[in-house]
Amino acid sequence: MKHFIPNICIGMIGMTLFSCGGNVPDNSDAPSLIQEKHTPATTVSEPVPLPASGEGSFESLVADYESKDRGIWQKPELVISLLGDLENKTVADIGAGTGYFTFRMVPRAKKVIGIDIDMRFISFLDSVKVRLPEQYQKRFESRLAKPDDPLLKPGEADAVIIVNTYGYIQNRVKYLKTLLKGIAAGGQLLIIDFKKNNLPIGPPDEYKVALGEAEKELITAGFEVDKVDKDALDYQYIILAVKPTKPETDGGR
């Protein structure tokens, strides 16, 4: 069975995070624990292809996913901003890997759950957690899930992100129906995945899901598609879906 494709960090995420020490200011002054290394480049240079699956040694997975220019094409700040204000929300990152998005959201959210089906990445997430400032340690939880179930409690998450992972989920409609139960009414699901084009990065087409197909699967599973954007990111499309709120009762009349 294929593993979820993890969201890997740029370079040595641990070194960047750990340098924060205990001096990271509170949420309002620290939009991210990760300081991006800016580059004058405006396009991706020497792109690193993402592996087709999560198989292989942990070290090779990390090496395969790293790219010094990922911040340019992945645009993490733009992606996270699509979820709006996270201050009082619980966010689940499915396919968290080493926490490329997870630890960028920790200072912004009430709680962040980093979910993965690979115990190696859960261990890595936990190793990062213990080096975070105490106020952020309390906001983060890692969770080892099943390939067919993210193991969210009913209505636990106010928002869920699935980045570079959707095409690796088997029986996606069934999975989405299970996921739907773990999202609060009115909660958001943000999916970012690679377009079906001849791209310099990303998995083979067999591990990609066309935008239209993903929309249909979400609707079939019970989500409402709120926004679709295929232009904001060079290599990926964006889908923002919501869990419908329950209709109001008429009080028994």
Q: What's this model's pTM, rounded to 2 decimal places? A: 0.78
- Domains in the chain: how many in total? 1
Q: In this structure, what DSSP letter does residue 40 have?
A: S
Q: 40 falls in which pLDDT band (50, 70, 90)?
A: very low
Domain containing residue 155: CATH number: 3.40.50.150
Tens digits of residue pLDDT in 42-57: 333 233 333 344 455 6
Determine the pLDDT at residue 248. 46
In a domain, 42, yes or no: no
In a domain, 201, yes or no: yes
Give the contacts of 197 (CB within 8 A, at least 6 positions apart): 235
Asked whether residue 199 carries a pLDDT value surpassing 60, the answer given is yes
Q: Choose the weakest-confidence range: 155-164, 181-190, 204-213.
A: 204-213
Nearest to 181 by CA among 158, 154, 143, 145: 154
Q: Which domain holds residue 192?
A: 48-242
Q: What is the dihedral of CA 185, 77, 95, 86, to 10 degrees?
A: -30
Tens digits of residue pLDDT in 96-121: 988 989 999 999 999 999 999 999 99
Between 15 and 243, residue with greater pLDDT = 243
